Amino acid sequence: MPRQADASLRASQPERWKISMSIKHREILEPSHPGKTDVPVRAFGRRLWLCSVAAALLLAGSPVRGQQAPASQQSPAQAPASSAAPAQAPPIAVHVKVVNVLATVRDKKGEIVRNLTQDDFELKEDDRPQTIKYFSRETDLPLTLGMLVDTSMSQRRVLGQEKDASATFLDAVLRVDKDHAFVINFDHDVTLDQDLTSSREKLQAALGQLQIASRSNSDDPDSGQGGGGPGGGGWGRGQGGGYRGGGTALYNAVYLASNDVTGKLQGRKALIVLSDGVDRGSKKTLASAIEAAQRADTLVYSIYFSSEEEGYGGGGYGHHGGMGGMGGGMGRHGGGYPGSQESHPDGKKILERLSRETGGRFFEASKKHPLDETFSQIQEELRNQYSLGYTPDPPDTTAGYHKIVLTTKKKDLTVQARDGYYSLP
């Protein structure tokens, strides 16, 4: 009886073993033979084999864990090998400052000179001769243009002509998918009417919507600052926001266009300002507006329209023709409107300085030199410029303003370029 009971017990064990091992190792699932007593022996042997494999894996894993130990725990025999490995030198960062200058050259008749070479130019920074290392003629480089239109009361007789001529100019100068432009109007606000685009339709629509600010809205010099614009520059879109002031925020407009738009771009950049040059109510100064344009490598072209009390009347183009001279000076801020008894800033000299110090050009609109002709000259100039680059020698690591003097070896030629630049520390 005991022997039969033992046999029946062994006969019943393989099925249970088969079930328990199926969870751990699927390879052991093979047909069992309940009637044979050697089945439990084979199963037991396999269990011993699995235990041996597991032990071998544990022993094999211990050296691997030892190799992953920190360097402080390695044996002395391993230390020389790690110390003998060559150390990598840290990379050396070299920052080379290159100053770029755009220049237009004219002969004594005022015609643009297009055939000069690098050797024809001489350049000084802070009275120290510099070596021109980069030189090219810029005739096809992408162009960014900003149209800054004065919509204050002093320009009400000419705004229509300004809008039409500006639209014709942009239509002629912009190349689709290559050049971009934007439109800003300024009176008591600085308003971005059209952001950067190459669409002539959008630019013409923005120009077509410009209108003169009402006297009641422009008569509050303490109206504060308005909503944000691109880059947090503090100007409005449409009817909102901006730096608000007495009526003609010219300096604010140049500052914001340079700091918030062109200063974030590469390539050739220019602003075209149509105004009488008399700023009333800006929170920025003329000097800060010029500095912003210089930092942004942006040329400023000014088209001067004399205000009504200076003989503008009847929608004509004033009483003087041709380009203005190169006079300097800066007018004082004033309140009120044309016709008041307050001292009147010299808007012409303000625009002359703005253009001269940024490397642009000053024009005076007149019957003798109509606006279309002025825009044609600007277009020709923008397509025929020289680009020069140099590395200041000796290098200057201090922040501040550096004066640039660019001339040609041919003494009968005149070079138009910016007066200097601001360096960062």
Domain ranges of the chain: 2-63, 100-139+385-425, 143-383
Pairing of strands 268-275, 299-304: parallel
Q: Is the per-residue pLDDT at 166 higher than 70?
A: yes
Q: Exposed e or buried b for every residue in 102-141, given b needs 16+ CB within 10 A? A: bbbbeeeeeeebeebeeebbebebeeeebebeebeebeeb
Least confident span in 9-18, 123-132, 246-255, 282-291: 9-18
Q: What is the distance between the alpha carbons of residues 101 and 231, in angstroms, rounded to a whole number?
A: 26
Classified as helix, coil or strand, 302 is strand
pLDDT tens per residue across span 325-383: 333 333 333 333 333 334 678 999 999 999 999 999 999 998 888 899 999 999 999 98
Average pLDDT, the chain: 74
Q: Which two tokens stand for residue 155?
A: 């320009």
DSSP 8-state assignment for residue 218? T
Cis upstream peptide for 63 (omega within 30°): no
pLDDT above 50: residue 229 = no
Residues 82-121: tens digit of each pLDDT? 455 556 655 554 455 889 999 999 999 999 999 999 999 9
- Give the model confidence (pLDDT) of 289-299 as tens digits: 999 999 999 99
Strand ranges, E, within 23-65: none
> Nearest to residue 241, comparing CAs of 232, 250, 156?
232
Q: Three-state SS for 221?
A: coil
Contact 266, 295 (CB under 8 A): no
3-state secondary structure of 144: strand
List % helix, strand, coil for the chain (3-state, nearest 5). 35, 20, 45
pLDDT reading at 323 higher than 90:
no
Which amino acid is residue 126, in one-letter code? D
- Predicted pLDDT of residue 62: 44
- Judged by phi (left if over 0) then psi (alpha if -120 to 50, else beta), residue 388 lies in beta
* Side chain identity at residue 182, one-letter code: F
In 3D space, the residue among 338, 324, 415 whose CA is nearest the CA of residue 132 turns out to be 415
Give me the phi and psi of 334, to 5 degrees please.
-145, 165
pLDDT attached to residue 399: 81
Q: In 3D, which of 393, 367, 271 has the Cα closest to residue 313?
A: 367
> Is the domain 143-383 a CATH 3.80.30.20 member?
no
Give φ, ψ of 403 to 5 degrees: -85, 135
**How far apart are alpha carbons 112 and 106 in whole angstroms?**
4
Asked if residue 50 has pLDDT above 80, the reply is no
Give the CA count within 13 Å in the CB-facing half-sphere of 181: 28
Does the pLDDT value for residue 414 go beyond 90?
Answer: yes
For residues 200 and 25, the model is more confident at 200
Structure tokens at 252: 């604010």
CA distance 380 to 58: 83
Q: How far is CA 134 from CA 54, 212, 320, 395, in A?
A: 72, 46, 40, 17
| Cα separation, 167 vs 165, whole angstroms | 5
In a 3-state reduction of DSSP, which class is residue 372? helix
pLDDT higher than 60, residue 204:
yes
The residues near 119 (Cβ < 8 Å, ≥ 6 apart) are 409
